[in-house]
Structure 1
Amino acid sequence: MQLETKAIHAGRGVDPFTGAVTIPFHPSTTFERSADGGYPSGHEYIRDANPTRNAFETAMAALEGGHAAVAF
Structure 2
Amino acid sequence: MDDLLILLVFACCVAAVLSALAWLGVRGRRRGVGGEVMGPFEEMWHPSAPRYRAEIRVQEERLVPMPSADAKDQTP
Q: Above 0.5 in TM-score?
A: no
Q: Relative to total residues, which structure has the larger helix share, 1 or 2?
A: 2
Higher relative contact order by CA 8 Å / sep ≥ 6: 1 or 2? 1
The TM-score, its normalising length taken from structure 2, stands at: 0.28
The structure with the larger Rg is 2
